[in-house]
């Protein structure tokens, strides 16, 4: 198998990806409104996430509301909720398996199955990264499709939020 230093480096990168995936799942900034409005006095910026939407007023006050019905959400958001929670669960399991299978841990030392546990942990990290990557790319596609749709009014168009950028980087870290 690989050296202990390489295992630690790989685990650290994958763990950072896992933390980023958790953060991406919880952030309410998947989509950011691109329409400011005609009056600077009543300017409101809207953000939408998987679990809530927020409005930031020109006074600096931010008000967030949790979605009242999960069944009323668009299919891309419902799928993203399920896939991101699955990604977090699989990545949590991957963290435990990878730690148990690393050479620097005492758990199962000298056991022939220790290397297999590390491999299963790595495969689980890859699966968690894919489960994170799919809803992110799907939401990016929806945002860009709607943004460049000439039929939609400007007030309903959104841009990509910080959570999507963080999620892409996190899923790539988890996949590496």
Q: What is the CATH number of the domain that holds 89?
A: 1.20.140.150
Tell me which residue range forms the domain holding 12.
Answer: 4-29+70-175
Residue 36: HSE in the Cβ half-sphere, 13 Å Cα cutoff: 6
Which tens digit of pLDDT belongs to each residue from 68-105? 888 889 999 999 999 999 999 999 999 999 998 887 77
With respect to residue 142, please indicate whether it lies within any of the assigned structural domains.
yes
With respect to residue 131, please indicate whether it lies within any of the assigned structural domains.
yes
% of the chain beyond a pLDDT of 70: 93
With respect to residue 60, please indicate whether it lies within any of the assigned structural domains.
no
With respect to residue 58, please indicate whether it lies within any of the assigned structural domains.
no
**CA nearest neighbour of 136 among 169, 105, 91:** 169
With respect to residue 93, please indicate whether it lies within any of the assigned structural domains.
yes
62-66 and 44-48: which strand pairing?
A: unpaired
With respect to residue 65, please indicate whether it lies within any of the assigned structural domains.
no
Kind plus residue range of the DSSP H or E element containing 88: helix 75-101
Cβ within 8 Å of residue 4, ≥6 positions away:
102, 103, 104
Tokens 């990806």 found at: 17
Residue 37: what pLDDT?
A: 59
Question: Binning pLDDT at 50, 70 and 90, where does residue 142 land?
Answer: very high
User: Distance of alpha carbon 112 from its chain centroid, rounded?
Assistant: 35
**CA nearest neighbour of 129 among 98, 91, 163, 161:** 91
Cβ atoms within 10 A of the Cβ of 50, count?
Answer: 23
- Among the listed ranges 20-24, 57-61, 135-139, which one has the minimum average pLDDT value? 57-61
User: Distance of alpha carbon 50 from its chain centroid, rounded?
Assistant: 10
């Amino acid at each position: 198998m690989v050296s202990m230093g390489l295992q630690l480096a790989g685990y650290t990168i994958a763990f950072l990806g896992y933390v980023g995936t958790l953060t991406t799942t919880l952030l309410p900034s998947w989509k950011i409104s691109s329409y400011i409005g005609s009056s600077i006095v009543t300017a409101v910026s809207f953000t939408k996430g998987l679990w809530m939407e927020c409005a930031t007023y020109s006074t600096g006050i931010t008000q967030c509301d949790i979605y009242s019905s999960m069944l009323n959400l668009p299919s891309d958001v419902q799928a993203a909720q399920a896939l991101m929670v699955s990604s977090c669960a699989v990545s949590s399991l991957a963290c435990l398996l990878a730690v148990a299978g690393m050479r620097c841990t005492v758990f199962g030392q000298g056991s022939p199955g220790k290397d297999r546990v590390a491999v299963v942990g790595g495969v689980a990290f890859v699966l968690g990264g894919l489960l994170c990557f799919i809803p992110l790319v799907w939401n990016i596609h929806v945002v860009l499709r709607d943004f460049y749709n000439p039929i939609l009014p400007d007030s309903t168009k959104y841009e990509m939020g910080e959570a999507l950028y963080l999620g892409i980087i996190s899923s790539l870290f988890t996949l590496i």
